[in-house]
Structure 1
Amino acid sequence: MMEVNSKVAEKTYYPVLPLRGLFIFPTMVLHIDIGRERSIDALNTAMKREEKLFISAQRDLGVEHPSQEDIYPVGILAHIKQVVKLPNGTMRVLVEGLQRAIWDEYKVTNKMDEVTVSAYIEPKKADQEDQALMRTLLHNFEKYTKASKQVSEETYRSVADIEEPGRLADMIAAALPLKISGKQEILEIMDVKERMETLIVQLYNEQEILNLEKKINNRVKNAMERTQKEFYLREQMKAIQTELGDKEGKTGEVAELKRRIQEAGLPETTKKNVLKELDRYEKLPTQAPESGVIRNYIEWIVSIPWSKSTEDQLDIKRSEEILDRDHDGLETVKERVLEYLAVRQLTKSLRGPILCLAGPPGVGKTSLAKSIAESLGRKFVRISLGGVRDESEIRGHRRTYVGSMPGRIIQGMKKAGTINPLILLDEIDKMSNDFRGDPAAAMLEVLDPEQNNSFSDHYIEETYDLSNVLFIATANDLSTIPGPLRDRMEIISIAGYTEIEKLSIAKNHLLPKQLKEHGLKKTQLLVKDDALIDVLRYYTREAGVRSLERVLANICRKAALQIVSGDKKRVTVSAKNLEDMIGKRKFRYGQAESENQVGVATGLAYTTVGGDTLQIEVSLSAGSGKLQLTGKLGDVMKESAQTALSYVRSKANDFGIDPTFHENKDIHIHVPEGAVPKDGPSAGITIVTALVSALSKRPILREVGMTGEVTLRGRVLPIGGLKEKTLSAHRAGLTTIICPKDNERDIEDIPESVREVLTFHFVSDAEEVLQLALEEAK
């Protein structure tokens, strides 16, 4: 039986040292690195007393500052043999386990934990039953040592000569790869016989686990050998099939491909050629490089639609309702689509027209194409051409190239799955060219109604009929599209929206869309019309509606924040609180200039993003007649300035200007926003007006905007983009427009709502311009 030390009259408190990740048994010597502050204090206190500690394992290794509940009650009373202070501030201590112990009282102080303990003495001698258990335990440990790689034979030899049964059990328990909780379980068994029996069972379980591991490893090894054997046999089979032409190995696959070819509805010539390719594929061995090329080619041929089509929805009223539902304005485009439907209904067969929607960004070109596809009941496919500079992107690659594939047109047809989809050629003006070819030239065949019924793709190598496809292209700048390609398309210009149209678009389309995207209900956010008008006038200045949509999204975000924060349940946005909600105004609405000025004329320009207004300023200084031009002007605009100056010099007397001004005056012509490139001849009359104003000191009327090319004789020549320029003038708040006489025919393109608020003057001579634009001479 176990003997228990009798407690002395005066209680002895031992400092507590919790162990993380380490374990110690009686008679064991262990190095411990101590870094926790309370543990270092416990060590220092023990050194001052009897050099003894109570060491116990920590239940949870993640606890940094363990309390009484975090350590096991049964531990080891240990003796400190050596202490070394390390450079990093930690202490390395060598301890020797003396006896098992269990605490009686647990005391927590500011610096450390202390306990009184009851220590247990192991019996030194072994009776006959103990000896039998020791032999069994050693025998099982020897078998485990031989079977396991985790315990060395030296470990077995070191414990084989131990005669004390308790010490033998502890040393074997320390050598086994048990978890901390398993070792603690052994430590808490005070009865030596029970401890040895428990270890015998543990060793038996470990041996069974080792045997199972061996069986699993053998099974995996056999499976790998079988897999390798199968791989070897398959390789042999492939070699045999190669010698036989691999005909039998492809029978099922070839039969399936032949069935798909028969069902694809191919033209007879194409079907004959594809069946020849299939016959070649059948005879080629699988390993032949050409085998995969032919296989991919046949797959592409049977995947492209050759005869499957959708029936056009020729209901004019339904189509008109869809177009009006999705888009406000854009009457010219809608009218053209309805004309196509009407002719299609009468003739039952009409080649698809090739339309090009040209206009600034954000006016709805792409979304309009989607609506047209829906109104016709056709499949919609979008092909982005921005940045394409390789001809093979359109025509495909030759099959001889590695990784070859058809061009984007054929890929689009495969995606559509029908022979009569609507294909949108997006950003056709942004194609470029390099040494690999000109993709714009390759598009000539695609977009030529007389040729695209026999389109040839380099990969397919068979003529393909594109005449049933409705092609719609989009472009921002027609000037970058090559002439022959532009000639093959029907150009429909979308100049931009008037303020009334933008207001309707915001109310009917953009605001409901943003409410949905931001999770708001109509009852939670109300944006009044006066707020929308202010957004149009003071926060956006564009031809399209993208900036408008971004501002509406900003309003929705601000409203969502107020509602989620609990500030408001319903947000109302009006002209009064708009600035508080989304910030200060970005643009000035009203007159382009607040007052009539000398030498500052307002011109109308046409850019890739729509119409715009620009100021042309003229400054005079003493000099010798030098002309300076600034504002990042292009060559054409510089020549217009030279022409304007020559005209003014020739008419100096008529304009009441000193004829010798060029001898003693330097002239500086500047167009603000110097970082923006500007070019074109239509600023001619604007420069003339600014020059005459500066030289004669007569102010220019602030409400007047003008555009027109001027000649040396003062003739005003026609310009392009009158609609876009007029809309920009309307946005800027101008009320009078001066433009060339020959552009009078273009006034019908301008929306009636804009024409009603603007006064147009059509002129043929620069003198008429000056009479209209300059204040009367005093």
Structure 2
Amino acid sequence: MADKKQITVPLLPLRGLLVFPSMVLHLDVGRDKSVQSLEEAMIDDHLIFLTTQKDTGMDNPSKDDVYQYGTLTKIKQMLKLPNGTVRVLVEGLKRAELVEFIDKETHLEAHINPVDVIDEKDIEKEALMRTLLEYFEQYIKMSKKVSAETYASVTDIGEPGRLADIITSHLPIKLSDKQKILETTDVTKRLNSVIHFLHNEKEILQLEKKIGQRVKRSMERTQKEYYLREQMKAIQKELGDKEGKTGEIADLTKKIENAGMPEHVLKAAKKELDRYEKVPTSSAESAVIRNYLDWLIALPWSKATEDDLNLKKAEKVLDEEHYGLEKVKERVLEYLAVQKLTNSLKGPILCLAGPPGVGKTSLAKSIATSLGRHFVRISLGGVRDESEIRGHRRTYVGAMPGRIIQGMKKAGTVNPVFLLDEIDKMSNDFRGDPSSAMLEVLDPEQNHTFSDHYIEETYDLSNVMFIATANNLATIPEPLRDRMEIITIAGYTELEKLHIAKNHLIQKQVKEHGLQKSHIQFRDESIVKIIRYYTREAGVRGLERQIASICRKAARVIVSEERKKVVVTEKTVEEYLGKPKFRYGQAELEDQVGVATGLAYTTVGGDTLQIEVSLSPGKGKLVLTGKLGDVMKESAQTAFSYVRSKANELGIPEDFHEKHDIHIHVPEGAVPKDGPSAGITIATALVSALTGNPIRKEVGMTGEITLRGRVLPIGGLKEKSLSAHRAGLTKVLFPKDNEKDLEDIPEVVRNELEFVSVSHVDEVLKQALVEGTS
């Protein structure tokens, strides 16, 4: 059963607004239910209950969404506006508590309990009213938000509760705090609460005033600086000083914004620019900062070339500029194919390994051309300081970035073909190990955040296609070698050299020496003669030099003798180049006793070695000469021990070592020689010398020997086969375990050489000795 005090009136929820008793206020009402609530109130006694929403964003509030205390008000006037909203003038009558929230289809109603408050003065309330008015007066003087007329209007209010309500309505405090005042029915408590709020607001205003004064002083200082700077600009303009620092700062700012830097780099650049602006031009630090900013601006951060993903065109470019080298070309075309399918492949890290002059560097340029990318090369030969790779810290005098960042600046794009030339010739000392610094550069999982000591900010190298070149893989540290894809270029056959000379070298040298194609003609047999008798190399650098020499001599003939054309034939080669420097054909002209032809692998490709054994009366002394390394000496000792252990089977007197001294010599004593692969060659030469059985002149051999006579696998079979082919040998003995390497040998060499795989020294002797062994 409802309370006797309860009344039922329409309900109007307010958003962001609160009405106190005795307040007269204009409201704009727009929600349909709210407008209908006003209509219902106008029909009856003009009374309506106003309460505030807790969440102003809610369009259809329920009981839990509004405050339980509100104000019973009377509608004084209502006006419908053209835009559909209703403007209403209301007067607050008394506080009321919401008992029941009724949501009808058309409007909202509420059962409320009006609260009657005894609002009479006593001595305590009088004192609180005076204090409140005094605080309010001070607040009005300090704040510009409340006018002086407002103070005059509240001084005449005699009721303590009403005074508290009216002053609260003028204070810029939170709506929830105003709601607390509305819900406080005890007048004394209400006066104390309002005094407390006023006291807080007064302190806040004092703080605001102090802050304002500080800001004003700061603004005055800033305005002064701005004024002085503008004056300086005007003076510089009048003097025609366009190089002033102000103009320089503006120019640098524009360049930094246009450099396409990542966010973290842009932030660092702007910070350094701010420092640069404040540092005097005469200061040494000014030049350091300027140099650093110039590097940040010059580096490519986002500029990239678009890859030319036309495989046929790329293949054509590679074939035109390089003859042979199928594996490398195949790898580049594979990269292009995958790039075309994914469009997001990280740059591969290739290492072209092979002797000098085989075209490693020029091949890298051709790869850049075929991809349509910029090409940049740095030489690592002799680099022994880590800062050459990572750069110096800016605290050092003369600091600068490392070679990687310098190369990227030179390239101008984020995706060049980057050649690391002679990577095997880096060394280390007390200043650091540059090969360790290269690990980060050449690791696809790390190089997207490469850190240079000078630049400090991380730089992305993941789009770069790194190509390294090396002559000798053995000198590259294992962790570094592991990060690269090794592609071996062993050397060229005679036929390949002939094609390279005709299609590339002659054209290049003719042009460089100012000749025309009509001035000079090289016959094929002349080129072959130069290859055979004037060069002995894996590459074609020496061949190019000989062709250049002939071109020089031809130029002189054309100029001095006024001849129109020089034809280089097999006969005229000797006139231009002198007597042959090398002997072509058999390593030996006839079968020899105690002389075996070994095949060696060197940093400049394959080569043939003549191993000689001679006997002299003595007491079994073994002499080794020819500047042999420790490994080769051990191979000789092993071969000697094997021959001694098998002397009876080989038809050698068992006491031969007691009556003879044995001398093993490898000619070209000034050239260091090392490696285990001469084992079977030394054993064959020993058996030949001790038995008097000659060794076949056309046979070359390579293989490591054990004390039991087994033949172990070796490396570099392709290079050794090419050297055998160059030397004119017809048969090559090689370890059986190396049969898998035969497919790497060019077809022309496989067709002209007889390859015999052996697993034991007995098989070697059968093939190598003229009469064989039983």
| TM band (smaller chain) | 0.5 to 0.7
Q: Distance in 2 between matches of 1:340 and 1:777?
A: 52
CA distance in 1, matches of 2:334, 2:429: 40
Instruction: Name the counterpart of 1:647.
Output: 642
| Partner-residue secondary structure (3-state), 1:269 | helix
Q: Distance in 1 between matches of 2:554 and 2:467?
A: 39
Look up the SS of the partner of 1:621 in the other structure. strand
Give the Cα–Cα distance (whole angstroms) in 2 for the partners of residues 581 and 442 of structure 1. 49
* Distance across 2 between alignment mates of 1:292 and 1:776: 83
Counterpart secondary structure, 1:761:
strand
Aligned to 1:758: 753
Look up the match of 2:257. Answer: 262
Show the counterpart of 1:438. 433
Secondary structure of the 1:349 match is: coil
2:316 alignment partner in structure 1: 321
Correspondent of 1:302 among 293, 297, 300: 297
How far apart in 1 are the matches of 2:513 and 2:466? 35
1:543 to 532, 535, 538: 538
How many Å separate the matches in 2 of 1:777 and 1:732?
23
Is the 2:349–2:483 contact (alpha carbons within 8 Å) kept by the matching residues of 1? yes
Matched residue pairs, number? 534
Residue number in structure 2 paired with 1:677: 672
Q: Distance in 2 between matches of 1:741 and 1:288?
A: 73
Following superposition, the deviation at residue 288 of structure 1 comes to 2.7
- Deviates most, 520-529 or 630-639: 520-529
Secondary structure of the corresponding residue to residue 682 of structure 1: helix
Please state how far the C-alpha of 1:777 moved relative to its aligned partner. Answer: 5.9
Q: TM-score, normalised by structure 2?
A: 0.68
User: Hey, what does 2:345 align to over in structure 1?
Assistant: 350
Q: Alpha-carbon deviation of 1:298?
A: 1.2
Question: For the residues of structure 2 that align with 1:406 and 1:560, how far apart are their CA atoms?
Answer: 46
Q: Tell me, what secondary structure is at the counterpart of 1:666?
A: strand
Deviation at 1:580, TM superposition (A): 2.5
Give the structure 1 partner of residue 489 of structure 2: 494
- Aligned partners of 1:528, 1:345: CA distance in 2, in Å? 44
Q: How does 1:147-162 map to 2 (within 5 A)?
A: none
Instruction: Report matched runs for 1:393-472 at 5 Å.
Output: 393-472=388-467
> What code does the residue aligned with 1:422 have?
V
- Residue-by-residue CA offset, 1:33-64 (whole Å, 9 max, x unaligned): xxxxxxxxxxxxxxxxxxxxxxxxxxxxxxxx
Q: CA deviation at 1:304?
A: 0.4
CA distance in 2, matches of 1:459, 1:729: 52
2:575 to 574, 580, 583: 580
What are the within-5 Å matches in structure 2 for residues 600-749 of structure 1? Answer: 600-749=595-744
Give the 3 Å change call, closer, same or farther, for CA 460–656 of structure 1 in structure 2: same
CA drift of 1:757 comes to 0.5
Alignment of 1:348-387 (within 5 A): 348-387=343-382
Separation (CA, whole Å) in 1 of partners of 2:561 and 2:674: 54
> Post-superposition shift, 1:275?
1.4
Q: By how many angstroms is 1:270 displaced?
A: 1.7
**Structure-1 residue corresponding to 2:119:** none
Say which SS state the counterpart of residue 497 (structure 2) adopts.
Answer: helix
Secondary structure of 1:425's partner? Answer: strand
What is the Cα deviation at residue 631 of structure 1? 0.2
Query: How far apart in 1 are the matches of 2:767 and 2:516?
Result: 53
SS at 2:397's partner residue? coil
Which whole-Å deviations, capped at 9, do the CAs of 1:601-642 have from their partners, x for residues lacking one? 000000010000010000101111110000000000000000
Residue identity in the other structure for 1:347: T
Percent identity of the aligned residues? 75
Q: Counterpart of 1:558?
A: 553
For residues 296 and 565 of structure 1, the distance between their equivalents in structure 2, rounded to whole angstroms, comes to: 55
The match for 2:332 among 323, 328, 337 is: 337
SS of 1:683's equivalent? helix
Deviations 1:171-218 (A, max 9, x none): xxxxxxxxxxxxxxxxxxxxxxxxxxxxxxxxxxxxxxxxxxxxxxxx
User: Quick one: which of 377, 385, 390 aligns to 1:390?
Assistant: 385
2:469 to 474, 486, 489: 474
1:598 is aligned to: 593
Following the alignment from structure 1 to structure 2, what is the Cα–Cα distance between the partners of residues 326 and 567?
34
Aligned residue type for 2:485: E
> Aligned partner of 1:673: which letter?
E
Aligned ranges 1:4-43 → 2 under 5 Å: none
Cα displacement string for residues 447-495 of structure 1 (whole angstroms, at most 9, x for unaligned residues): 0111101000000001100000000011111111111111111110001
Measure the CA separation in 2 of the matches of 1:440 and 1:712: 39
Q: Distance in 2 between matches of 1:634 and 1:292?
A: 55
Aligned to 2:284, which of 283, 286, 289?
289
Distance 1:633 1:343 in 2: 48
Report the CA distance between 1:582 and its aligned residue: 2.1
Deviation for aligned residue 1:256: 1.9
Q: For the residues of structure 1 that align with 2:281 and 2:322, how far apart are their CA atoms?
A: 56
Contact 2:368 2:375 in 1 (8 A): yes
Written as runs of structure 1 = structure 2, the 5 A alignment for 1:225-236 is none
Q: Secondary structure at the match of 1:677?
A: coil
Q: CA deviation at 1:567?
A: 6.2
- Seen in structure 2, the aligned counterparts of structure 1 residues 777 and 266 have a Cα distance that, compared at 3 Å, is closer
**CA distance in structure 2 between the partners assigned to 1:601 and 1:661 by the alignment:** 21
Q: What secondary structure, in the 3-state scheme, does the structure 2 residue paired with 1:534 have?
A: helix
Secondary structure of the 1:522 match is coil
Q: Tell me the TM-score normalized by structure 1.
A: 0.67
2:280 partner amino acid: P
Structure-2 separation of matches of 1:495 and 1:777: 33
User: What is the deviation of 1:522?
Assistant: 2.0
Structure 1 residues 562 and 251, CA, compared in 2 at 3 Å: closer, same or farther? Answer: closer
Coordinate RMSD, CA, aligned: 1.6
User: CA offset at residue 660 of structure 1?
Assistant: 0.9
Give the CA deviation at 1:260. Answer: 1.6
Counting only pairs closer than 5 Å after superposition, residues 35-74 of structure 1 correspond to structure 2 as none
Output the CA distance in 2 between the equivalents of 1:389 and 1:330.
32
Which deviations, in whole Å up to 9, do the C-alpha atoms of 1:714-743 show, x marking residues without a partner? 111111000000000000000000000010
Partners of 2:329 and 2:571 in 1: CA distance = 38
Structure-1 separation of matches of 2:270 and 2:707: 71
Structure 2 CA distance for aligned equivalents of residues 455 and 678 of structure 1: 41
**Local SS of the residue matching 1:442:** helix
Which residue of the other structure, out of 263, 271, 279, is the alignment partner of 2:274?
279
- 1:249 Cα deviation (Å)? 6.2
- Shift in Å at residue 562 of structure 1? 1.9
Alpha-carbon distance, 1:670 to partner: 0.3
Instruction: Give the SS at the match of 1:503.
Output: helix
Q: Deviations over 1:206-235 (max 9, x none)?
A: xxxxxxxxxxxxxxxxxxxxxxxxxxxxxx
Alignment-mate amino acid for residue 578 of structure 1:
V
How many Å separate the matches in 2 of 1:565 and 1:286? 63
Contact (CA 8 Å) 2:765, 2:772: kept in 1 or not? no
| Residues 413/626 of structure 1: CA separation in 2 closer, same or farther (3 Å cut) | same
Deviation per CA, 1:649-699, whole angstroms, max 9, x where unpaired? 111111111111111110000000000000000000000000000001100
